[in-house]
Structure 1
Amino acid sequence: MEKKCNAKSKNRKKGNAEVVDDQDESLLNIDHDQISIEIDNLMEQSSNDNEKSNSTRVPNTVDTFVRIIESKIKAYNALKSGSRFGNMMNDDEYFIEAIRRLSKLKVVLSENTSSFDNINKILQQAMLLMEEEFRALLLDLNASYEPIAKGATLESNNEDEFPGYSEENVNLMSKIALIMIDTGYKYECCQVYGTIRKDELMEQLKRYEFEKLNVEDVHKSKWASLEPDITRWVKLTNHCSNVLFPAEKKLGETIFSHHFSGVFINLIRDITTSLIEYANAVAMEKPKGKRLFKFIDMYEAIRSLRAVIEDSLSSDVEPDESSTLKSEISSAGDNIGEAVVNMFYDLKSNIQSDSNKTTVSGGGVHPLIRYVMNYIKCAVEEYQKTLEHIFRQYVKVGNEPISDVNNSSLSTQLLSVIDLLEANLETKSGLYKDLSLRYIFLMNNYRYILQVVKSTNEMKQLIGDNWCLRKSSDVRNYHKSYQRETWTKLLQWLTQEGVQVNGKPSRKRLKERFKNFNAMFDEIHKTQSGWVVSDDQLLSEIRVSISAVVSPAYRSFVGRYKPQFEGTKSIDKYIKYQPEDIESMIETLFEEDFKFFEFKRLYNKKKLECPRPGTLFYRLVQFLPPLFGFENFDRKPKTKAKPNSN
């Protein structure tokens, strides 16, 4: 780049030297500055007369001045476009000011004057020269045209290079644009700029496969193939808003000053229209809930695009031009925003119409609850402000749940979704015939909903602490119902009532009590060890509450009536579990590995022989001691690996 600039500089110096050589020799001895002063005096005199001079004769100074400009135009035209200005600043400044004087001179002179046609002709030649130089400078850029690698982040590519002009060239273009506009050639100047810069913008967008975003393909494509195109559209639109359009605006304002807004609108109109047409086509797609996030991305991209364009407009833009483009962008944003709302309604409709009668094994968290809660969690975490804006803008006030958080449309929508989930849960809980399992199912799912809300700061702030307290109370009530349905019934075999006959404990009745307790406890343990409590804190709370009820009652009952069986061979038959066993077995409830507990208990009590070496069961048990606290089996220690000699 440095070599290129040095070469250009040499060409300019050489070319500007030729400007002097090519001038008419009769003009070399003329004081150009004095001629300029005389022209200024002539224009001031004509201006004081408040009307054009009707004299057919003009001072010789005018003809001399025109010849000087004509001579310089010929000299500049002898040079290569793009290298005519820049190194002999005094000559360039004189030429530009001379063109400005010539333009003003044309205004004050009558068309009947002898020099008028010649002035007009030279002025046109000068503007043609300026236009060619302006075009050459616009085309002299170093912006990249290499395609962007697949998956690359658009905003990070080419940000420093675009628009790709040196500061020197920008300054020259600014001077040329200003003189062309002052001379009445604004249209020609803007047309050249708009044509070249529009082509450059399109070339930049082609690097990101902009041309592949075909509106006609939207309605033909399935969502799986349409989704990547939407992702590319979002990146392209954001790239225009964040990089291309701001850079183009900055360049244009530097070159055109306050004359640029109208040029900018014309420059970006076609690109913006293409982006908006694609968004409108996508908005017509069926509003399915799973498409929500892509549509919110589109809505945010459209809002950013509108903000950039509105920020770029000023009073010199025709109202129709700006209002039409803003109206098109707003309409597309409305279409996408309404689609987002409809997707939330689609989510609610799917929850309401869900009639799946398959129960979750062990009463765990239902897939629908897990999916929807994580769905709205992601939506709130990533798009809270945008969703709040959309719901305020496009949701009509209806019979929605009232939120604890005032003036939040998003919290209202979240509550309505959760209310539908809870209603769905109540229906699904009825599929469990076992009441205890039904309460476990409700506990798991209500707890899951509550924990998702509490673990997400945005959701907790939106829904409010009062809601969290109410749901915590609901979980506790299901917990109490489960305890009453399961363990309160078990405790009926441990009451003192009915044990004594004639004032003494009846061994027969005690045998029946212990026998029924063992049978019922075994059945509960066998059944509920296969159930699921997925939340660790809830699992701990349930086990603690069960132990607090069962363990003291059993310990007291055994301590009181165990002497009735001492000395008999049947003591282990009736007092099957020690109080410590009951406590340990409660700790294995709701675990998949509960079946190993009985093996551990019997083995440690020497009621079970060690498995024979070589059997599959023996190899399995080799790994149990570290996990379950078994006494070590006779096995060889692991051989330590030898250190690597290398």
Structure 2
Amino acid sequence: MPRKGMRSLCFHSKTSSFALASSRASVSGPPRTSSESELVMARAIEAAEQLIMKWNPDTSTYARVTSLFYEDKQEAGQFVKCVNDLQQAMHALASDNSTSDMLVRAQGLMEVAMKRLQKELYQILSLNRAHLDPESVSTRSSRTSTSTTTRSSTSDDYDDEGEDDSDARVAKGSISEVEEASLIAMADLRSIADCMISSGYAKECIGIYKVIRKSIIDEGIYRLGVEKVTASQVQKMPWEAVEAKIKSWLEAVKVLVGILFYGERILCDHVFAASDSIRQSCFGEITKEGAALLFGFPEAVARSSKKSPEKMFRLLDMYMAISENWHDIETVFAFDSTSTVLSLAVNSLVRLGESVRSSLADFESTILKDSSKSAVPGGGVHSLTVDTMNYLCLLSDYSNILGDIFVDEQPNSPSRSPLPESYFDSPDRDDTHAPAISIRLAWLVLVLLCKLDARAKHYKDVSVSYLFLANNLQHVVSRVRTSNLKYLLGDDWIVKHEDKVRQFAGNYERIGWGKVFDSLLTNTNSMASSLVEALMRFNSSFEDAYQRQSSTVVPDQVLRDMIKASIEQKIVPAYREFYDSHKATFERERASRSIFKYAPEDIKNRLSGLFVMSNCRTSLSSSFSSRLHLRSR
């Protein structure tokens, strides 16, 4: 070990421990002569020499293989006190300009003592890895404050053996064996650190501490599966591999921030309580590299241009993980030495937010570019509707996070939209006070509805096109009602679009069954020939309408029952009245059996069998569906 210069040794950092030592050395009292002071210093050095040399690992096999702090706590306390007294003596000798021989002797002893304390520091850190793991430290800290649990943080704690034993018994009664071992090790480490720092050996102390503690942090990060990944590497990976890494990161972030880094911060603050600058720089050097790995990963994923329908949700998961742990992140890395860690975390949030906005824009573009031209059989629900609403409902579960990401976004307006301006004509439209994310999601629903409107034109039968619109809008409204979208879009939105569903359903009835309704309203006289013509018109119109509508579907039971009930109410009672009024007349005619094809109950039974899914299998295949397949999360 290199010899320390006399001046740098005796006038080292003005830590709290050194200030205390100086104050003790300058206690007011009767002035002493130079010879008397030298005699006092000589006796102090001689007293320190006896104990220090006893534990010199270079001259004693016993000292080389035995741990002072494990062998005898009381003697360990006396050793630290001797070193502190030796430091005071050296300071006094230097101040009195006494003979350098005594300082050289004291310097030699100091080097031996520091070598011993370095060995003890290494042993305590190495042998107590389990007791000083961040989880044990953070758990102990949550139960007792640092100030009350540190029963031997300075050398004075070893002065009274009885008091020390009493403290140990109290501690054992209130905390677990592991936590007790953690408490004792932390107290020993602080005692050694205070002594070495006040003696001018801070560099040696910090060097040993950093090497061992950083290895623990790095090992914890490795075991949690966090590793350095660049955006280019993410780009080359299959999405399944990227998703697996994201899941590992999501599980790791809370453990690393709330336990590993938090526990290390507590330990570092405790051990180096004598110096703010040392504890800050030490903690920064131990954790900075691992924290950079942790917060660099989300940015790498966000910066990659890899496309996946699920990427949006994984980005939101990572954004939420950082946001939910932000208080702990900000608290743990509050030092200037760890400011780069906070910058990385903030940058990750920014990048994730940008990527989410970009992904949502891509999603909108995917809806607009959907090129499926085939009509869904039976006017059922289009896969575009199903997939889009699945996506939006999942997004609504992240409404709080999305609200933060889109807080400054301006809503779309007709002037900047590729959609017809008529789609914006709404007397109750007022987005002035609506959250940006609510407006954004309402806009995406509008884009979907406009696309469906275009799809409806593929039906040759206009009535089925209206049924198609009713089915799809009903699916949209139903998904909104049963998800968080109802809170984002609001009750007014739901009511307005439910009215539109009824309008579409009414148009379907009017066009698809209008001739049947008209045939029952035709004015007939009592002549048998006119009655026959009226009945034949009804039979013909009903059979034609039933034939065309028998392949239609209404997947939603509520809508299906509503449409069937409405059609039945318009046909069955009127037909029953006609049937009952003229049955006797027709029975007198020979052709009555062929003319009266349907009794009222027959009509009702036929209508009740309409719109069921078994009549027609709804196709859910489309180019959009193939690009937007969402697996269960």
- 2:332 equivalent among 295, 304, 312: 312
Counterpart-to-counterpart distance in 1, 2:33 and 2:434: 75
Are 1:266 and 2:285 matched, yes or no? yes
- 1:527 equivalent among 544, 548, 572: 548
- 1:74 equivalent among 36, 53, 56: 53
Instruction: Tell me if structure 2 keeps the 8 A contact 1:54–1:110.
Output: no
Partner of 1:107: 91
1:70-469 superposed matches below 5 A: 70-76=49-55, 77=57, 78-79=62-63, 83-86=67-70, 88-110=72-94, 112-114=97-99, 115-141=102-128, 143=130, 166-211=182-227, 213=229, 217-257=233-273, 259=276, 260-286=279-305, 288=307, 289-303=309-323, 307-313=327-333, 317=335, 319=336, 321-381=337-397, 383-392=398-407, 395-396=409-410, 399=413, 406-456=433-483, 458-469=484-495
Partner of 1:63: 42
Counterpart-to-counterpart distance in 1, 2:78 and 2:87: 14
Q: Deviations over 1:552-596 (max 9, x none)?
A: 11111212222221044432322111111211221111125569x
- 1:44 equivalent among 11, 26, 35: 26
Instruction: Tell me if structure 2 keeps the 8 A contact 1:543–1:586.
Output: yes
Deviation at 1:189, TM superposition (A): 2.4
More displaced stretch, 366-375 vs 293-302? 293-302
Counterpart-to-counterpart distance in 2, 1:443 and 1:225: 41
Instruction: Tell me if structure 1 keeps the 8 A contact 2:379–2:464.
Output: yes
Ranked by relative contact order (alpha carbons within 8 Å, sequence separation 6 or more), the top structure is 2
1:308 aligned counterpart, secondary structure = helix
Instruction: Tell me if structure 2 keeps the 8 A contact 1:532–1:590.
Output: yes
Counterpart-to-counterpart distance in 1, 2:112 and 2:119: 11
Q: Which AA in structure 2 matches 1:540?
A: D
Deviation at 1:345, TM superposition (A): 0.8
Q: Which AA in structure 2 matches 1:356?
A: S
RMSD, matched Cα: 3.3
Question: TM-score when scaled to structure 2?
Answer: 0.76
Deviation at 1:429, TM superposition (A): 0.9
Counterpart-to-counterpart distance in 2, 1:525 and 1:565: 24
Counterpart-to-counterpart distance in 2, 1:48 and 1:219: 79
Instruction: Tell me if structure 2 keeps the 8 A contact 1:141–1:164.
Output: no
1:480-491 superposed matches below 5 A: 480-491=506-517
2:444 aligned counterpart, secondary structure = helix
Counterpart-to-counterpart distance in 2, 1:172 and 1:329: 35
Deviation at 1:363, TM superposition (A): 1.4
Q: What percent of counterpart residues are identical?
A: 27
Q: Which AA in structure 1 matches 2:41?
A: V
Q: Deviations over 1:177-217 (max 9, x none)?
A: 23333334333323322211111122222223334746652
Partner of 2:498: 472
Q: 1:594 to 1:219 in 2, by over 3 A?
A: closer
- What are the ranges of 5 or more consecutive residues in structure 1 without an aligned counterpart? 1-38, 145-158, 596-646
Instruction: Tell me if structure 2 keeps the 8 A contact 1:287–1:340.
Output: no
Q: Which AA in structure 2 matches 1:388?
A: G
Q: For the pair shown, which has the larger CA radius of gyration, 1 or 2?
A: 1
Counterpart-to-counterpart distance in 2, 1:346 and 1:541: 37
Are 1:505 and 2:524 matched, yes or no? no
Q: 1:46 to 1:455 in 2, by over 3 A?
A: same
Q: Which AA in structure 1 matches 2:124?
A: L
Question: TM-score when scaled to structure 1?
Answer: 0.74
More displaced stretch, 418-427 vs 572-581? 572-581
Counterpart-to-counterpart distance in 2, 1:538 and 1:54: 108
Counterpart-to-counterpart distance in 2, 1:574 and 1:331: 81
Partner of 1:624: none
Instruction: Tell me if structure 1 keeps the 8 A contact 2:576–2:600.
Output: yes
1:599-618 superposed matches below 5 A: none
Counterpart-to-counterpart distance in 2, 1:310 and 1:465: 39
Q: Which AA in structure 2 matches 1:391?
A: F
Deviation at 1:422, TM superposition (A): 0.9
1:277 aligned counterpart, secondary structure = helix
Counterpart-to-counterpart distance in 1, 2:216 and 2:565: 71
Counterpart-to-counterpart distance in 2, 1:238 and 1:41: 46
Q: Which AA in structure 2 matches 1:334?
A: V
Counterpart-to-counterpart distance in 1, 2:487 and 2:189: 54
Instruction: Tell me if structure 1 keeps the 8 A contact 2:469–2:504.
Output: yes
Deviation at 1:444, TM superposition (A): 1.0
- 1:544 equivalent among 543, 565, 574: 565
Deviation at 1:417, TM superposition (A): 0.7
More displaced stretch, 471-480 vs 82-91? 82-91
Q: Which AA in structure 1 matches 2:401?
A: T
Q: Deviations over 1:1-32 (max 9, x none)?
A: xxxxxxxxxxxxxxxxxxxxxxxxxxxxxxxx
Instruction: Tell me if structure 1 keeps the 8 A contact 2:221–2:290.
Output: no
Q: 1:562 to 1:397 in 2, by over 3 A?
A: closer
Q: Deviations over 1:41-67 (max 9, x none)?
A: 982269999xxx996995223222223
Are 1:572 and 2:593 matched, yes or no? yes
1:219 aligned counterpart, secondary structure = helix
Counterpart-to-counterpart distance in 2, 1:95 and 1:54: 29
